[in-house]
Amino acid sequence: GVESFAHGDAFRLVDVPGVPRDVLLTTSRELFEHGLGAEDRRRLHFATYGDPVFEKLLDYMLQPYEAVLAAWQTRKPLSALQLGGQRWATTDDLLESELPEGGEIKLVARAQRLPGRQDDRVGRQQKVMLDAAAANLAEQKLKPTPDTPNNQIAELDRFRGDVSQRHGQRVHLKFDAPDRNGMLALKDTLLWPVREKAVGLQVDADPLLLSATRDVIYRQLGDMKKDSRTGHEVARRLRESAASMS
């Protein structure tokens, strides 16, 4: 269900495989930056590519349930959910109703279709930007010699803490993209707008972006053999991942 906080709303995830029950997901930057509050010990994640909880939710939603899979592939905006002759247009209506037993769930699409291609391009370029920016950070903040994932990520965590204490909580992060022109064409639609510099691209990295890139790097470290966990090798693999998305 949805929970409201002083700085925004968050969705409580329940029964998602691999996700603990004390995890919340939000699309509010303000809530993510301010947190849930000193007394709330639950973990808060931001719904964006690269976040492990968000990607586990996507994986779960894309399991072979035909109606959900078809809706995701065609990207049709929905007007209602239908079950047993009843329709619900909002989450509030659904939560206040008693669901009929049995029957097939149907997702009712709106008459007008949204252009899914644009959404795909934005999502793809967002993932490219995360991988490319993470590669840059890996080269700067990870050790050149192999080490455990926790030891490798420690310097990046210290850097994130330092940025959070700065006025404005921003740091200029330089990176490059395999398709620079393609990313610049969508620069104002990305979660973190990018701009072109003399060499490569630049984004103003806030705590949210640094957390997302940190998760990308940490997950990459976990997928590697211990002898190859170096800053150079992590950066190389992340750049290969970015290139494969272009």
- Mean pLDDT throughout 127-135? 92
Average pLDDT over every residue of 122-141: 91
At 48-88, the pLDDT tens digits run 888 888 888 887 776 655 655 565 666 556 667 777 778 87
Which residues have C-beta within 8 Å of that of residue 243, sequence separation ≥ 6? 178
Q: Which residue has the tokens 């329709």?
A: 87
CA 89-94-97 angle, 5° bins? 125
User: What are the pLDDT digits (tens) for 13-56?
Assistant: 887 888 888 899 998 988 888 888 888 888 899 988 888 888 88
The pTM of this model reads: 0.53
Per-chain mean pLDDT for the chain: 83
